[in-house]
Amino acid sequence: MNLVQQLINGLIIGHAYALIAIGWTVLLGVARLVNFGHGQMYMLAAFVTWWGVAGLGLPYPLAILLAMAGGVLLGLVMQLTMLRLTFAQDLVSIMIVTLGFGHVMRGLAGLLFGGNPQVLETPLSWIDFEIAGAWVTAQDLLIVVAAIAVFLLLRLVLERGALGRTARMVAEDPKLAQLGGIDVRRVYLAVFAFEGAAVALAAALVAPRTPILTSIGFEEVIITFVVVVLGGIGSIGGSYLAGIGLGLFTALFGGFVSPAYATSAAFGVLILVLVLRPGGLALGAKGGRA
Amino acid sequence: MRPGMSGAPRLLLPRLFLPRLFLAVAGALLLLPLPGWIGGVHGAFAVIAILAVAAYGLDIVVSDLGEVSLAHTVFFAAGAYATGLLATRAGAGSWVTLPAALLAGLAIALLLGLITLSLREFVFSLVTYAASVVAAAVAHNWNVLGGSDGVSGIPTLDLSIGPLRLAARNDAELWPFALALLLVTLYAVRQFRRSRLGAMAMMVHLNPRLATMSGIDVRRVRLRVFLLSAPFSAAAGWLYAYQRAYVGPDLFETYFLVLMLTAVVLVGRRLLLGPLLGTALIIGQERFLSFGGDINAILLGGALILSLAVLPSGGTSGGTGGLAGGLAGLLERLRPRAPDAAAPPAEGRSVPQP
């Protein structure tokens, strides 16, 4: 494969990464929350989409909506379980609990969908055309368009509207926000519901590119983390750019160096950033640093 | 977040479990023939002891330092891989593989500890998580480590010295060694909690500002505790390699990670016997009351969620939490409440930092 093909491939992967990471970006930016079950939510949503298409015979767009509804439900269940920890801003316990949720989801997926790898076939993955020597499917283009649309929408909503003001206030100081008459509980629930819907949308769009297994999702968390950190924690525009950058890097590294170590190399980039630009990691006043 | 110390469960339980020396020795001697009495379950007992030792490594980081390391499976696997590779390729004996396993764990911990020196909370956890993902990728792809096939045909444990025969050809013979490793670990963890480093770790955990003002080098303490924790998990990996006679990339699966974490928090934090009882409950369920892999995974993850998010007084770090915390909370509720001992409101626990 030549350079141009890898660049086009990287752009597509980059949009996929950005889309996968958006739920976490909002979760961290708005609510100062983390979700280590993110990858397993991706896996479960991919299975639900597959089941919707192959099992229920739904058209692909309806299967996407089904997966997103499932994601919302899952997000609400998780946040309802963790409300006490959330109000105490007990990030350490939240981290462990979301890991536990991830493990439960993996067992659940094995139970419901079996251990065999499945392939989600969408009508769009059959349409392909050539751009500068690279073969691109309509599914790939859908990922790019959807990622751009979601990011534009979020920018509009979070950085302009009243909703964004409320969210930022909760992020800045949950107690003060509550005194100010904001129902903080509802904001937290809404943010987690959004996280569920966003990761489900990403899974429904991106999962057709690879086989779906109960063991996937492990790497998605790492990719998500690298995107969120590189983009500046909680920054919407930043994480979009970081996703694209990481996608280009992965495609080039995978194409010219070694595909097996692409994720490891992404982690290498992360370490470089941590060592060279540790200040960029500051998580508001709370700080993820000593 | 600054967790308040919730006193009740801490007062109640450690005293209950306080190991008097003779009680400990008698208990250990009783444990030795126990799997035989139950009916030849030496394998399960050995695995419980080994994985409990691995969990104790994580325990002192989670309970004492207050950070969630997700890289302890890497230390565990490093010990196992060092043992497997040296024993099969170089014909090394068990006395050689033990220090090699400890060194392998320690070296990785040093590297990772230096990288994460100034990281805290979820950033620390994510970097350690990423480290285990990278380690898994390396184990799967690097032929020197056996790739996806791993390393099989590891000989049995043999610690014989001169005429003294100390070998384990099967699980029944391995169990005393696993028990010995567990007892050494229990003693070491107990001594660590009473040591200056242990006290400094708690101070760094509960009040880093005060620790800094008292002249404690926070980073140094964090690095030292992190380094101290790795050999426990690596030693567990050493014995696990002999127990299973096989080492493979499956050691990096989330199962071991979730198992260790659950073992640490299930019964309660900073209880000496907590991780052991937690491991025993989990492995006991898997071995004797199994519902198949998928339901077992749901139960294990559910136990983790339960012990932190559902059980009462599972406070962040000062409190015990887990089953013991839940029990203490229940006792507290049953006891007639003194008028001045009103429970502090839950939200009063987190005092925002300026």
ipTM of the complex: 0.82
- CA dist B8 and B186 (Å) reads 24
Q: Residue A240: what residue type?
A: Y
Q: What is the pLDDT of residue A181?
A: 81
CB atoms within 10 A of CB A213: 17
Query: N- to C-terminal Cα distance for chain B?
Result: 11
Q: Which residues of chain B have pLDDT under 50?
A: 1-11, 314-318, 339-354
DSSP B223-286: HHHHHHHHHHHHHHHHHHHHHHSEE-GGGGSHHHHHHHHHHHHHS-TT-TTHHHHHHHHHHHHH
- Name the residue ranges covered by the structural domains of chain B: 41-252, 257-332
Residue A135: φ, ψ to 5°: -90, 125
- CA dist A173 and A284 (Å) reads 11
Are B251 and B151 within 8 A, CB to CB? no
Quote the tokens at residue B333. Answer: 């509720």
- List of chain B residues whose C-beta atoms are within 8 Å of the C-beta of residue A281: 119, 123
Of A81, A102, A222, the CB nearest to B133: A222
CA distance B25 to chain A (A): 35
- CA dist B304 and B283 (Å) reads 14
- For residue A285, being part of any structural domain is answered with no
Contacts of B305 (CB under 8 A, 6+ apart): A81, A97, A100, A101, A104
Chain-centre distance for alpha carbon A67: 14
Q: Which residues of chain A have pLDDT under 50?
A: 281-290
Q: What is the pLDDT of residue A157?
A: 83
Contact B219 A104 (CB under 8 A): no
Closest alpha carbon to A93 in B229, B202, B261, B247: B261
Contact A271 B350 (CB under 8 A): no
Of A85, A101, A111, the CB nearest to B294: A111
Contacts of B136 (CB under 8 A, 6+ apart): A218, B249, B252, B253
Are B108 and B237 within 8 A, CB to CB? no
CA distance A221 to chain B (A): 9
Dihedral angle computed from the Cα positions of residues A192, A197, A198 and A200, in that order, rounded to the nearest 10 degrees = 120
CA-CA-CA-CA torsion sign (A163, A165, A166, A172): positive
Closest alpha carbon to B294 in A117, A105, A213: A105
Contact A283 B123 (CB under 8 A): yes
Quote the tokens at residue B147. Answer: 């790739």
- For residue A288, being part of any structural domain is answered with no
Chain-centre distance for alpha carbon B69: 11
Contact A283 B140 (CB under 8 A): no
Give the residue from chain B lying closest to A82, CA to CA: B309
Contact A100 B295 (CB under 8 A): no
Give the CA angle between residues A92, A98, A100 to the nearest 5°. Answer: 105
Cα A78 to Cα A46, A268, B248: the distances in Å are 19, 31, 33
Query: N- to C-terminal Cα distance for chain A?
Result: 45
Contact B1 A84 (CB under 8 A): no
Are B118 and A280 within 8 A, CB to CB? no
Closest alpha carbon to A22 in A105, A126, A146, A106: A146
The C-alpha R_g of chain B, in whole angstroms, comes to 21
- List of chain B residues whose C-beta atoms are within 8 Å of the C-beta of residue A284: none
- CA dist B177 and B183 (Å) reads 10
- CA dist B3 and B208 (Å) reads 12
Q: What is the pLDDT of residue A50?
A: 93
Residue B164: φ, ψ to 5°: -75, 115
Q: What is the pLDDT of residue A247?
A: 92
Residue B345: φ, ψ to 5°: -60, 145
Beta bridge partners of B151: B247
Residue whose token pair is 């692409």: A262
Picking from A79, A86, A90, A103 by the largest number of B CB atoms within 10 A of its own CB, the best residue to mutate is A103
Are A93 and B284 within 8 A, CB to CB? no
- List of chain A residues whose C-beta atoms are within 8 Å of the C-beta of residue B302: 100, 104
Of A173, A260, A289, the CB nearest to B141: A260
Q: What is the pLDDT of residue A1?
A: 58
Are A18 and A248 within 8 A, CB to CB? no
- List of chain A residues whose C-beta atoms are within 8 Å of the C-beta of residue B123: 229, 281, 283, 288-289
Domain count across chain A: 1
**Residue A132 sits in which domain range?**
3-276
Contact A36 B129 (CB under 8 A): yes
**A residues 81..100 contacting B (CB < 8 A):** 81-82, 84-85, 87-93, 95-97, 99-100
Q: What is the pLDDT of residue B292?
A: 82
Q: Which CATH number do you get for residue A180?
A: 1.10.3470.10
Quote the tokens at residue B143. Answer: 């032929």
Helix ranges (DSSP H) in B32-120: 34-39, 42-59, 72-89, 94-115
